[in-house]
Amino acid sequence: MIPGQFSYHRPGTLRDAVKLLADLGDEARPLAGGHSLIPMMKLRLATPEHLVDLAGIGELKGIRRDGDAIVIGAMTTQNELLASGEIASSLPILHETALLIADPQVRYRGTVGGNVANGDPGNDMPALMLTLGATYRLKGPAGDRDVAARDFYQGAYFTALEPGEILASVSIPVPPSGHGYAYEKLKRKIGDYATAAAAVVLTMKGGKVATCSIGLTNLSETPLLAEEAAQAVIGTTLDDAVLKKAAAAAIEIMSPAGDGRGPVEYRKHVGGIMVERALKRGAARAA
């Protein structure tokens, strides 16, 4: 199918983009990489009358260090993440995850902001942002505000964005040197959403887990932060019994839909396996 008719706008500044979205109201949608919105428009699941293309706004691009955080502009592409030395050294799990998103053609166009902002439960970056304790900078007609990633997702395709607001950047605290990390993703084929995926960031001290954070992708209508699962491994050496306990705690909060990727019980089962694998690989990487 092809999309319905719409008017196309390409502002040159963030201020102009916010004004356009505010003036055009509910019938306008911002356009980032387009890999989520355009397919929905083709299926007539989204029928905006106006598209506000953000691609020409330079202030929405780039990666920079700001004290103890890395700030990523919303229009930074997945490919630019992969090319960044700062990301590779400070946030290697972001590099690892970007490599698992779709395929190279998509990563050249797909943006960080587009991946995290539209509330698609199948996108990989939202659960990772919860795991890393990220904060989103939102810009709108009433000014700027910062929203923690864990407070941003309210339901499938429903977020904390208010009318006229644009997600402008993502701020991620830099994990301590020597931390362990892993993003484990099960998918049917290259380019597909995850059947189940788990992100882990942890630190070790004296052979035991000192801190841990676990995020889950495509196992509910929003990304999940598996806090009880993470708490279950702290102070342990991650033996098999502890891994099973953590997986079981993560499964308790999963509520995936049964679909072409498998029935509900299967998706929960492999979700638990992804948690175990990510924990083991993350611990092996920790200095």
Interval 174-178 mean pLDDT: 95
Alpha helices (H) along the chain: 14-24, 37-42, 78-83, 85-90, 92-99, 104-109, 112-117, 125-132, 149-152, 227-233, 240-253, 264-285
Same domain, 111 and 80: yes
Contact present, 81 and 37 (Cβ < 8 Å) = no
| Residue pLDDT, tens place only, 254-272 | 999 999 999 999 999 999 9
How many other CB atoms sit within 10 Å of the CB of residue 165?
A: 22
d(CA 109, CA 34): 8
Lowest mean pLDDT among 23-32, 55-64, 191-200, 205-214: 23-32
Look at residues 127, 156, 173 and tell me which one is the last residue of a structural domain.
Answer: 173
Question: Is residue 253 one of the residues assigned to a domain?
Answer: yes
Confidence (pTM): 0.94
Look at residues 158, 173, 188 and tell me which one is the last residue of a structural domain.
Answer: 173
Same domain, 144 and 247: no
Task: Check pLDDT > 80 for residue 64.
Answer: yes
Q: Which CATH number goes with the domain that contains 116?
A: 3.30.465.10
Residue 34's pLDDT band (boundaries 50, 70, 90)?
Answer: confident
Contact present, 136 and 95 (Cβ < 8 Å) = no
| Residue pLDDT, tens place only, 225-243 | 999 999 999 999 999 999 9
Mean pLDDT for the chain overall? 94
Look at residues 173, 193, 222 and tell me which one is the last residue of a structural domain.
Answer: 173
Instruction: Say how far residue 189 (Cα) sits from the centre of its chain.
Output: 20
Residue 106's pLDDT band (boundaries 50, 70, 90)?
Answer: confident
Q: Which CATH number goes with the domain that contains 266?
A: 3.30.390.50
Residue 35's pLDDT band (boundaries 50, 70, 90)?
Answer: confident
Domain that holds residue 84: 58-173
